Structure 1
């Protein structure tokens, strides 16, 4: 049977972390003649060991159905590749004598073996560096030229890296100068802005000037900016006021110089007032409020939401040798105790929005002025 296939390579097969079986369709005489080459993602190749790293199953009739399948012991992940070829040794194991049989299969296997060996050699030579048939250079000279080109390329790459580093250094220097210029510009702009006054355009009765003489702010005069002078220091003012004084004035005593001292010791012991003139604000305690008996739970926090102060009164209730009434306002506890059956009671003012708690023992009555 002749060898119909001219190729001696199956693959390369890309691995995926799952596949372990790889087919081939070239003729071999035994399973150990199938060679598996494993290459990683960087292209580095290694030869796997038959029996250790993989097994081979040959098709039954290598003449009619050459090839078989190779199964690796482990799976290989993405980036790996498996390539199959034959490794028939360059030997001729057949011995023919004039004393033995002369069988056609023996001759056919020997011729097939030679063909396979030639195919293996052709496959290897096909991957070699070759010179043209008319090229006067020797193969080693071509290799030397290739290696020289590689060295030149490496030198060029190194020089390019050096130029790149210099360029990067120059770029950083330019960036640094630009950043420094930007900062100087900001400083100059700040100085110009300050020199411009630091205040919006307008007319002001009061200005602020810093140590460099620059106007930094401008505002209107306030009451606190006008000095207070004793009336005696304003020439003629006292006489003018004496002639034109109104029949009544409203003053704060401390604002009229000498008035407080004149009144000391001379105030009347009794005063008569019109009750309608003594008023409080609507938010004052007792204004518009009435006493009410309210239901409150001991230890529960309540909040005064009436908008004004309220008064809370707690009175103990029940018969016990020691009684107690307590009010806690914003964390401050006020407590009253009674002994020998006497009633305990206590009162407190609760500001608006304040939290409070009440308690009484053995029981309590709570009243609120609200």
Structure 2
């Protein structure tokens, strides 16, 4: 049987994270002659190992039905590719002697092997960089030209990066100058505003100068800027002080302008108030509260809405063998029991907005401090 197919590659097959079996339709003599190449998302190739990474199932008749299928041990995600080819070694294992048999299948396999080797070589040469048949350049000259173009491209890229760095530096200088100009303008506006919103003719008594010699601020003299001088150095001051009163002297209230008016209507130092007149009255238990008899149904929920804590007292009396009084506050039950007709009583504090219940048997009296 002749070798009908001229190609020696199956794929590349795009992986999807699910597929593990990949077919091929070229003839091989054994499973170890099937080669699997795995490419990652960046195009980096690696050769998988038979048995460790994949298994091969050959069709029964490689002449009538060449090829088979390759199954990987694991699945590969999107971005990976699997390519199959043959790896028939460039050897001739058949030996014919004048004393041995001369079988057609032996000759056919040998010629098929040579054909497969030629196809493998042709496939590899087809992927090489080649010069034209009429090109006077040698292959090594073409390769040198390619490397020279790569080098030139790298130099151009470096020059472009240098130009970019220069432009970035210039831009930063422009930005810095613009910011500095804005700051100087803001300082000038500040000086103008200090002058009442307009430039005033004349000179400023005090100015601030930065390291570059620029005037950055101006203001009038303050008290701290004036030096201490003897009284005789200040013109007219002694004459103004002559005849004035001594430092220590007294005045009638009427002599102090506005003092009597300011004091009119003010309270005396000692005075009294009713409790209701004092703001911020304490919310403590017992403050402003009295004991009151109240009507409360047993096991009915009530809520303290007085604005402060209250105290609830339950007293139970009767002639039964067991007398019970209880109060439940916020789910917690307090219980008192007496026996042989004696009185049972219990008290509890109920916070503001807290719910409570009371009960007593056979009868009860409820009082609240509220």
TM-score by length of 2: 0.56
Indicate whether 1:172 and 2:178 are aligned: no
Q: Which residue of 1 aligns with 2:136?
A: 136
Change (3 A) 1:105 1:293: same
Alpha-carbon shift at residue 70 of structure 1 (Å): 0.8
Change (3 A) 1:256 1:50: closer
Distance 1:61 1:317 in 2: 105
Matches of residues 42-191 of structure 1 in structure 2 within 5 Å? 42-191=42-191
Q: Please, which runs of 5 or more residues in structure 2 have no aligned partner? A: 199-217, 222-251, 265-275, 279-289, 297-301, 316-351, 355-364
Alpha-carbon shift at residue 81 of structure 1 (Å): 1.7
Between 1:44-53 and 1:120-129, the stretch displaced more is 44-53
Alpha-carbon shift at residue 231 of structure 1 (Å): 7.1
Q: Which residue of 2 aligns with 1:302?
A: 306
Matches of residues 1-16 of structure 1 in structure 2 within 5 Å? 1-16=1-16
Distance 2:15 2:161 in 1: 36
Secondary structure at the residue paired with 1:149?
Answer: helix
Change (3 A) 1:197 1:179: closer
Distance 2:256 2:262 in 1: 14
Distance 1:102 1:317 in 2: 125
Distance 2:46 2:24 in 1: 19
The C-alpha deviation readout for 1:262-317, integer Å capped at 9, x for no partner, is: xxxxxxxxxxxxxxxxxxxxx979xxxxxx9977899956239xxxxxxxxx9x99
Once superposed, which parts of structure 1, at least 4 consecutive aligned residues long, lie more than 4 Å away?
229-234, 292-301, 362-367
Distance 1:86 1:41 in 2: 24
Q: Which residue of 2 aligns with 1:255?
A: 261
Change (3 A) 1:23 1:190: farther
TM-score by length of 1: 0.56
Change (3 A) 1:254 1:19: same
Alpha-carbon shift at residue 107 of structure 1 (Å): 1.8
The alignment covers a number of residue pairs equal to 245
Contact conserved, 2:303 with 2:353, CA < 8 A, in 1? no
Distance 1:31 1:254 in 2: 121
Distance 1:233 1:164 in 2: 79
Contact conserved, 2:38 with 2:45, CA < 8 A, in 1? yes
Q: Please, which runs of 5 or more residues in structure 1 have no aligned partner? A: 199-209, 214-228, 235-251, 260-282, 286-291, 305-313, 319-354
Distance 1:41 1:82 in 2: 12
The C-alpha deviation readout for 1:129-152, integer Å capped at 9, x for no partner, is: 111111121111111111111111
Alpha-carbon shift at residue 103 of structure 1 (Å): 2.3
